[in-house]
């Protein structure tokens, strides 16, 4: 029975154990959640005062911190599998306040109640408790049961789930409600009406012809009206005029009928024909369910004898479910993967649980999302002042809809991924961070120095030239004519690199400079030019040549540095130039 079951005793500090009442093995919840506090219910609610208290309900996990705390379950069958998920809650005055809290429960990003049947929308399912400000959320037990995918069908397919409304074992008065031969571990409520009689059998009943597999203790009993001409009526009411329901009725003939006897009946909903005629088979379990949802506030199911039937109708069991439309969508999968990698890499201490963007108004701390798309996308990520270390990870590039990225106040090192820089330069991303980098001017060889680099968004006041490039300031900008004057029409070339040729020149005050011109054949281009210019205008260090300015005049791009007459560091360290050191 326990194949692929997940049974969690929330708040239990112990090892897995077998519950003596159900013979089900329960595990502590530490492998499924990393937030919350283990608690025990008050002794006044425990054994021996309550000898029938289920053992998994004797403790709980509470969540005093965070607006959203989530358990993560991973179905063995993965995405697309059909599952029953049940959450149990026993307050038991664990905190001594004698006040029941109110909070919401979500399956992934959609609201639900304590038991639900639904499809896994990914390989992971999140059961989330959301704090509404009306007391600390808590949970006592969480149970996951895989179902046959052919069962509990609706017209909505995978776009809706079923929330349990009623599950009745009709005609039984002494069962436990939970049975070892129920392969789905459903909990049945016993139900007998004063106007009904019970019929039953001790003979085996075949339940293998459909996937619902009702347990024997449930299917062996049935009810019939005491007055054979009266119907069996079941009623329920809700508050919503548009509430939708599905019913699953179980029938099996438990009486061996004589040749001159027959049992045949019809089923109606609110006076309208629904099914029929129905002839239950002897010792064979059959399931009947509506193909279209029953919509409305007031509901009555009537099972009444057909005209040519000699015996009254029967009903063995019924399940009633309310439809829960999946109105919210999960976050775009590539965004989920990227932000999960951020969490893992940086070991984020925030309560980042469940879906990053959902439900709405409960996205992860520091995240903002765009909900106008078919799937929410992450648009803003604030990780400032979190004492993060290490490089800026490449997988941040995968957050394609990101518009704001704040990494200030950390100890990051290395280089910022090119894709982020390019998006920042194109004014598609507001990027703010400080990283430890290595840099070396083209004329100073392989020298390197740890520096701090602050990158600001291009929307914070950058200046555009007529080609659309943006440079942070014009106070050290030169025209192409001025560059010609400084270099005397590029008279003296002193070096060459991947960017282009470097020329010697003089400023008007006599200061010697090195002018690096971007060559049309260079493997680098305007974006690299802009990045280097933005960087150098912010770097000042006594061991590095000063950055004098730049030229960004039409197609003429140049970077102007302080001239170093003793050559570069490589030359100084080589054998041929050793005498100059």
Higher pLDDT, 383 or 299: 299
pLDDT at 474 over 50: no
DSSP letter string, 44-83:
GGSTTTSTT--GGGSEEEE--S-SEEEEEE--TT-TT-EE
Spatial contact of 158 and 325, defined as CB atoms under 8 Å apart: no
Report the pLDDT value the prediction gives residue 385, as an integer from 0 to 100.
87
Rg from Cα positions in the chain: 36
Domains identified in the chain and CATH numbers: 6-147 (2.60.120.430), 164-325 (2.60.120.430), 333-438 (3.80.10.10), 471-572 (3.30.200.20)
Please determine, for residue 334, whether its predicted confidence score (pLDDT) is greater than 70: yes
Q: What is the pLDDT of residue 522?
A: 67
State yes or no: pLDDT of 361 exceeds 60. yes
Residue pLDDT, tens place only, 47-92? 888 888 999 999 999 999 999 999 999 988 889 999 999 999 999 9
Whether the model pTM is above 0.85: no
Higher-confidence residue of 534 and 346: namely 346
| 462 pLDDT more than 80 | no
| Run of H or E residues at 425 | helix 418-425
Q: Characterize the bridge pairing of strands 547-553 and 477-478.
A: parallel
| Parallel/antiparallel/unpaired status of strands 404-406 and 430-438 | parallel
Can you tell me the distance from the alpha carbon of 38 to that of 17, in angstroms, rounded to the nearest whole number?
17
Annotated binding residue 516: yes
What's the pLDDT score for residue 167? 97
Q: What is the pLDDT of residue 544?
A: 62
pLDDT at 454 (0 to 100): 40
């Amino acid at each position: 029975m326990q194949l692929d079951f997940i049974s969690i005793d929330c708040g239990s500090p112990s090892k897995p154990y077998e519950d003596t009442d159900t013979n089900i093995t329960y595990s502590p919840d530490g492998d499924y959640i990393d937030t919350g506090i283990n608690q025990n219910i008050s002794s006044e609610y425990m054994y021996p005062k309550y000898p029938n208290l289920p053992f998994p309900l004797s403790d709980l996990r509470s969540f005093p911190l965070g607006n959203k705390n989530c358990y993560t379950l991973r179905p063995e069958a993965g995405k697309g599998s059909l599952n029953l998920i049940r959450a149990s809650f026993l307050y038991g005055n664990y905190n001594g306040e004698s006040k029941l809290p109110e909070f919401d429960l979500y399956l992934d990003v959609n609201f639900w109640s304590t038991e639900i049947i639904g499809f896994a929308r990914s390989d992971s399912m999140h059961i989330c408790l959301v704090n509404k400000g009306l007391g600390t959320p808590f949970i006592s037990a969480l149970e996951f049961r895989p179902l046959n995918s052919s069962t509990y069908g609706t017209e909505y397919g995978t776009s809706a789930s079923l929330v349990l409304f009623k599950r009745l074992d009709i005609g039984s008065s002494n069962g436990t409600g939970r049975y070892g031969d129920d392969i789905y571990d459903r909990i049945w409520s016993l139900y007998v009406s004063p106007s009904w009689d019970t019929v039953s059998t001790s003979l085996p009943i075949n339940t293998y012809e459909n996937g619902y597999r009702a347990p024997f203790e449930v299917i062996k009993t049935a009810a019939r009206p005491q007055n054979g001409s009266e119907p069996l009526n079941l009623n329920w009411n809700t508050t919503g005029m548009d509430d939708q329901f599905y019913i699953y009725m179980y029938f099996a003939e438990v009486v061996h009928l004589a040749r001159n006897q027959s049992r045949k009946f019809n089923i109606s909903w609110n006076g309208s024909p629904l099914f029929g005629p129905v002839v239950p088979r002897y010792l064979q379990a059959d399931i009947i369910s509506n193909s279209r949802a029953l919509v409305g506030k007031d509901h009555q199911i009537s099972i009444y004898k057909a005209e040519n039937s000699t015996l009254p109708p029967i009903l063995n069991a019924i399940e009633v479910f309310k439809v829960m439309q999946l109105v919210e969508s999960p976050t775009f999968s590539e965004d989920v993967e990227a932000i999960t990698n951020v969490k893992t890499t940086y070991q984020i201490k925030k309560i980042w649980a469940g879906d990053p963007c959902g439900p709405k108004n409960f996205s992860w701390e520091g995240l903002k999302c765009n909900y106008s798309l078919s799937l929410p996308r992450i648009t803003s990520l604030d990780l400032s002042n979190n004492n993060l270390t290490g490089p800026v990870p490449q997988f941040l590039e995968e957050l394609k809809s990101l518009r704001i990225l704040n990494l200030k106040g950390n100890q990051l090192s290395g280089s910022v991924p090119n894709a982020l820089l390019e998006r920042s330069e194109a004014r598609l991303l507001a990027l703010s961070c400080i990283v430890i980098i290595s840099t070396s001017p083209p004329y100073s060889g392989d020298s390197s120095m740890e520096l701090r680099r602050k990158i600001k968004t291009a929307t914070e006041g950058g200046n555009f030239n007529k080609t659309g490039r943006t440079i942070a300031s014009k106070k050290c900008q030169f025209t192409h004519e001025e560059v010609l004057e400084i270099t005397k029409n590029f008279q003296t070339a002193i070096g060459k690199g991947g960017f282009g040729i470097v020329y010697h020149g003089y400023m008007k005050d006599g200061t010697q400079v090195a002018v690096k011109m971007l060559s049309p054949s260079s493997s680098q281009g305007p974006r690299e030019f802009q990045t280097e210019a933005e960087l150098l205008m912010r770097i000042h260090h006594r061991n590095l040549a000063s950055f004098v300015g730049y030229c960004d005049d039409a197609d003429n791009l140049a970077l102007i540095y302080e001239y170093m007459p003793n050559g570069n560091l490589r030359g100084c360290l080589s054998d041929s130039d050793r005498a100059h050191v």
